[in-house]
Structure 1
Amino acid sequence: MLLAVVGFLMLFVMMFLLFKGKTIPLVVFITVPVIAAFIAGFSVPEVVEFIQKGITKTSPMAVLFIFSVTFFGLMSDAGMFDAVVDKLVAKAGTNVVSIAVVTALVAIFSHLDGATVTTVLVTVPAFLPLYRKLNIRPQLLLLIVGAGMGVMNLLPWGGPVARASTVLGMDPNKLWHVMIPVQILGIVTTIAIAVLAAMREVKYHGAGVITHSEEVAVDEVEKKDDKENLKRPKLLFFNFALTAGVLALLLIDIFPTYFVFMIGCCVALIVNYPDPKEQKRRVKAHAPAALDVSAVMLSAGIMVGVLGKSGMLEAMTKPLLVIIPSALASHLHILLGTVALPLGTMLGTDSYFYGLMPLAIEVGKNYQITGLTMAVAMMIGKNLALFISPLVPATFLGIGLADIELKDHLKYSFGWLWATGMVMLVFAVMIGMIGL
């Protein structure tokens, strides 16, 4: 009983600290579980064993994140993303539906790196002048960007998949393979939503009428000289081929996921930036983004180790089994999948994946719900909550760039994104990915 009480208190304290922003996740995941383990009566050697086993479990995901962020950062430096964005934006013209579809394609493509802030900075400043001059409300722009990011965040180097893999003790690439059919549907649904929402803008809000007489300028953002100097236009096709090769190796699943990105980084550095000094500068430039999440993943290993190896998680499920009606508990994954988007909006990413998900998985096991099934159901809606959660910094970056209020963004996007999540969840049930 003591173990269960300590476990619930530990999760409560962790979620409180994360939700209130009292300290960073790294500090929470290292200190709180260790203190909880000692309070529960475990000895120093036992706690050390929990820590070692937990870190061993999460370290491959941390390495993956370091090198995937660096690889796509290098591709961005070399101008691969800019080339695609510029061509798509130029072809959009002044047709509202076409602009919405191109926005979706750019958001989907630019989120290949899994970096939310980068995607927002690539899409919103590029399209916002066009939206304004064609009298298209900026809420549509943020909706499409949010849907595109939410769907693409199901990639193995995306934060949610990496976190869920950590909880499951599963290779993120294998988890992604399971999610591919749902992700493909999500991409199609994102484009469909862009079309439908754009048609509503034209019909009900007068979108498409140019409000200024001057020629529409698509990209009014000045590019800095140092950024231009990093671009490698002559190597554009090589970089596309390299990226395609990396993605192909991930699909074939011959090598460990993190090793594929290690090799990709080496090739990208050698070909695009042969000068060793520039190579060092490029790695340093992307180190903050790479270290941020990977450090959290490593520290989360301590929490995973304490929860899983101490017997705490099993002890916590017993009172929950008594409280939750069996008729409801047997469909717990469907219930949590249905409310994943509002839950994901209210809970921070780390609270959701490292606090709620492990407990839900453990309860589900008692009703023949596999951990993988529970994780897949909970991930779909949560991913789509990415760009409407007030706990995600990129949300405020987006509404700040678009100059709209959070309440207006939520009011416009919430229903569309929830509907997208439900379509993906129902599809996952229909194809047998999620059992009833």
Structure 2
Amino acid sequence: MTLAALQSPAVLGAGMILTFMILIMTKRMSAITALILVPVIFGLLAGAGAGLGEMMLEGVTALTPTALMLAFAVLYFGVMIDAGLFDPLVRFVLRTVGDDPVRVTIGTALLATIVSLDGDGATTALVTISAMLPVYRRLGLNPLILALLLGLATASTNLIPWGGPTARAATALNIDPALLFLPMMPTMLAGIGFAVFVAWRLGLGERRRLGVLALQPLPLGPAPETEVAAAEGDPDPHADVRRPKLFFFNLALTLALMAGLLLGLAPLPVLMMSAFAVALIVNYPSLRSQRRRIAAHADNVVNIVLLIFAAGAFTGILQGTGMVDAMATALVAAIPPQLGPYFAPITALVSMPLTFFMSNDAFYFGILPVIAETASHYGVAPEAIARASLTALPVHAMSPLIAAIYLVCGLLKVDVGAAQRFSLKWAVLACLVLIAAALASGAFPFRVG
């Protein structure tokens, strides 16, 4: 290959994405540093030179609203969890599931779904497992069911605008996250419904295996980890930040925030910023308490904002140097023309194996922009491609490349491979349900033109 060919935008773009993917998947670099340094190096090879700074700033500026929305979403839901918004839900589920395996599994799916609305998979895993694992052990239920239901529930609710995959897809394609989410609401509800169906189906199997045991239901009281701490003489570490008297206010504020999002009353960053300010002042009036709550969630906020801004630099150079256009042109030439109008469902199907074997950052920042640009040549809108890619989330939740599965399996004390073997078939079915629901609701077209 000649030097001119090696310096062509298509070859440099492919090399840039491949280098980025290798570096983060082999853990040679973090996603943030790779998103900054790799495009700068390849931008210099492309001859962009002095124009790189302007390209990077344009990319970062375009993503500032997304960064604001995500930062304040993390802070808002962090405050809600600190204040105890989900505590009554946990206690209610523990009291009502009793000793029927079917009710326990359905309660697990519903609890995980509601808790995961904060968009943080780690929080969802900690809250749900700490509440439900003692029940599973007491009844002798298979803990792999708990891992599966966690994955299905969080995969569906990750379609919310502040969910990690949705935020990445919106960031990579410079699309308003709310624009991706609103048409996907029926799809999200279908995914939640399928998770409840799977819970019912597996609960029936456990009921046949174990029967309905005649044990006393758990009392309405503290969560299991709090009971253990109290038994050991340790005070509740969350007692000083809980605000049980403000439960109904926090619930009303959260519902109002969701209503504002659905009705489009204001830009999403504005809604999140306003809701966070109100929540912080009402729940923690003193400046000292407010500083403590912000500091408690500062790590998550900083990591998310840095990732978004670094992704802006990456996409700014990728687009500004013409690499995306060149790669898309090459890909269009390689695809049979008769398949072009079906690019959205094709994207949905191929995203399943791609997101299983690739990290979120590698797929959404490296692959998705090329797919979207290629699809645009056939008249498929970028937001349709982004929504199609998000239907692969149930399979992605089982990927060995994400930290959540190791956290879940560690808490449950089960082997990761066993969890994947047990869950993967259900995850594939969940993806197919999401694809069918998205096609039926018009979230993305089966065929254009």
Quick one: distance in 2 between partners of 1:47 and 1:350?
22
SS in 2 for 1:80: coil
**In the alignment, which residue of structure 2 is the partner of 1:7?**
13
- 1:131-150 matches, within 5 Å, as 131-150=136-155
Q: Is structure 2 residue 334 aligned with structure 1 residue 323?
A: yes
SS in 2 for 1:154: coil
**In the alignment, which residue of structure 1 is the partner of 2:115?**
110
Q: Is structure 2 residue 400 aligned with structure 1 residue 394?
A: no
1:32 is matched by which residue type in structure 2?
V
Cα separation, partners in 2 of 1:34 and 1:208, compared to 1, 3 Å: farther
TM-score, normalization: structure 1?
Answer: 0.95
2:405 is matched by which residue type in structure 1?
T
Quick one: distance in 1 between partners of 2:440 and 2:257?
31
- 1:243-258 matches, within 5 Å, as 243-258=254-269
Deviations 1:249-270 (A, max 9, x none): 1112121111111111111111
**In the alignment, which residue of structure 1 is the partner of 2:232?**
none
Q: Is structure 2 residue 125 aligned with structure 1 residue 120?
A: yes
**In the alignment, which residue of structure 1 is the partner of 2:445?**
435
**In the alignment, which residue of structure 2 is the partner of 1:237?**
248
Quick one: distance in 2 between partners of 1:8 and 1:207?
54
Quick one: distance in 1 between partners of 2:272 and 2:387?
24
Q: Is structure 2 residue 341 aligned with structure 1 residue 297?
A: no
**In the alignment, which residue of structure 2 is the partner of 1:425?**
435
Runs of 4+ aligned structure 1 residues displaced above 6 Å come to none
SS in 1 for 2:399: coil
Deviations 1:125-171 (A, max 9, x none): 21112112212100101111111100000001111111111123221
Cα separation, partners in 2 of 1:231 and 1:108, compared to 1, 3 Å: same
1:149 is matched by which residue type in structure 2?
T
Q: CA deviation at 1:315?
A: 0.7
Quick one: distance in 1 between partners of 2:217 and 2:241?
28
Q: Is structure 2 residue 350 aligned with structure 1 residue 339?
A: yes
- 1:201-216 matches, within 5 Å, as 201-203=206-208, 206-208=209-211
Quick one: distance in 2 between partners of 1:110 and 1:434?
28
Quick one: distance in 2 between partners of 1:195 and 1:341?
25
- 1:17-96 matches, within 5 Å, as 17-44=23-50, 46-96=51-101
Q: Is structure 2 residue 158 aligned with structure 1 residue 153?
A: yes
- 1:328-407 matches, within 5 Å, as 328-381=339-392, 383-407=393-417
Deviations 1:81-127 (A, max 9, x none): 11211111211101111111111111011011100000000011211
Quick one: distance in 2 between partners of 1:266 and 1:293?
19
SS in 2 for 1:388: coil
Quick one: distance in 1 between partners of 2:65 and 2:211?
49
Quick one: distance in 2 between partners of 1:392 and 1:254?
35
Gaps of 5+ in 1: none
2:224 is matched by which residue type in structure 1?
E
Quick one: distance in 2 between partners of 1:374 and 1:200?
38
Q: CA deviation at 1:214?
A: 7.6
Match of 1:310 among 307, 321, 325: 321
2:13 is matched by which residue type in structure 1?
G
SS in 1 for 2:339: helix
Gaps of 5+ in 2: 230-234
> Does the Cα contact within 8 Å between 1:26 and 1:296 map onto a contact in 2?
yes
> Does the Cα contact within 8 Å between 2:102 and 2:206 map onto a contact in 1?
no
Q: Is structure 2 residue 188 aligned with structure 1 residue 180?
A: no
Quick one: distance in 1 between partners of 2:384 and 2:301?
29
76-85 or 163-172, larger mean C-alpha shift? 163-172
Q: Give aligned-pair identity as a percent.
A: 33
Quick one: distance in 1 between partners of 2:291 and 2:278?
14
> Does the Cα contact within 8 Å between 1:337 and 1:425 map onto a contact in 2?
yes
**In the alignment, which residue of structure 1 is the partner of 2:106?**
101
Q: CA deviation at 1:197?
A: 2.0
Q: CA deviation at 1:20?
A: 1.2
Quick one: distance in 2 between partners of 1:117 and 1:231?
20
CA RMSD for the aligned pairs?
Answer: 1.7
